[in-house]
Structure 1
Amino acid sequence: MSNDFYTSSILPYAAIIIKICRAYTNTQQDFEDYYQEVCLQIWKSRNNFQARSEWSTWVYRLSLNVSMTLLKKQKNNRQRLASDKLPSDISDEPCIFIDDSLEQLYAAIRQLSEVDRGVILLYLEEKTYQEIADIIGTNPNNIGVRIKRIKVRLKKILDGKIN
């Protein structure tokens, strides 16, 4: 990956990538792996960008797709391992946040379905329903209803009513 591409096309959107990777990972090591994989996939598929949307929208969508794919692979790999004994190199060290309330929010978000995580992250980024629908690949009318349901679920999780 050229330094120019990283500096001009990835680094300005690092906050987007970081937020998405944090919502799909539980450990610092996983976060770093996801971040690196997202950056690699952006670089590999840069020629597929057709400018039908903003670059940031494309980065969001690609970051979500890569994170969801990695999460599914990780779940499949864990299922294949003997469930009673994990390899010693798998760390249970949680991702570290400076703010406890932010850690609580991310922990609650990680309990949502894969798609709902993406929706709420985009909502928290103050994206419009249309932008969220474009990134997720759904109907904008569906987004409003989905966000209301996600908010109710997050409130229940944060209030300790759902584990």
Structure 2
Amino acid sequence: MQRPSKKEFSQLIEKHQAIIHKVTLVYTNGPADREDLFQEICLQLWKAYPNFRAEAKLTTWMYRVALNTAISTVRKNRNRPGFESLGAYDLATDENPEEAEQVKLLYSAISKLNSIDKAIILLWLEGKSYDEIASIMGTSKDNVSVKLVRIKRKLEELVNDSEKELS
């Protein structure tokens, strides 16, 4: 596929920027890291666009590039002084403080998962089907199903442990 013009690419990013923002939220700690990762994902999307074969939906391809870029960045930065993967969030406070606290507990628990499990749960929380998740992650639908059961169980344990610590 031919590379789009800069204007077309900017419009594409603007239209689907929520995908990139969700990935950056899950794989970074703080606004500066999110901005850096956002830019890196956009760069990788630009570089990879000529190889997009339209065999999958554009958004599926974008998720795949974004997640691979995020995972690679986390691996590269793991030993960087001061780098902390997924810590406190600048989540907007909800009208319901109890619900906002539950969201913080969930994201805190997600932060303790490995990179692949973070990606799978992010996609599931986005409402992606098992087939879409499998396509994005390059695995089978059955593998996604098994992993999600394990991830949900692990998240439940982590949230329960956090609630106990807060009590």
Q: TM-score range by the shorter chain?
A: 0.7 to 0.9
Q: RMSD value over aligned CA atoms?
A: 2.4
Out of 19-28 and 99-108, give the one that drifted further: 99-108
8 A Cα contact 2:30 2:89, kept in partner: yes
Report the equivalent of 2:118.
Answer: 117
Report the equivalent of 2:91.
Answer: 97
Identity %: 36
Deviations 1:56-87 (Å, cap 9, x if unpaired)?
00000000000000000001334xxxxxxx5x
- What is the aligned length? 152
Distance 1:150 1:91 in 2: 21
Aligned counterpart in structure 1 of residue 26 of structure 2, from 11, 23, 30: 23
Report the equivalent of 2:16.
Answer: 13
Deviations 1:123-154 (Å, cap 9, x if unpaired)?
11111111111100111111111101101111
Report the equivalent of 2:70.
Answer: 67
| TM-score for both structures, normalised by structure 2 | 0.82
Q: Highest relative contact order (Cα 8 Å, sep 6+), 1 or 2?
A: 1
- Counterpart of 2:90 in structure 1: which amino acid? I
Distance 1:42 1:119 in 2: 20
Report the alpha carbon displacement of residue 46 of structure 1 after superposing the two structures with TM. 1.1
| 1:75 to 1:102, Cα distance in 2 relative to 1, 3 A | same
**Which ranges of structure 1 fall in alignment gaps of 5 or more residues?**
79-85
| 1:94 to 1:32, Cα distance in 2 relative to 1, 3 A | farther
**Which ranges of structure 2 fall in alignment gaps of 5 or more residues?**
94-99
| TM-score for both structures, normalised by structure 1 | 0.84
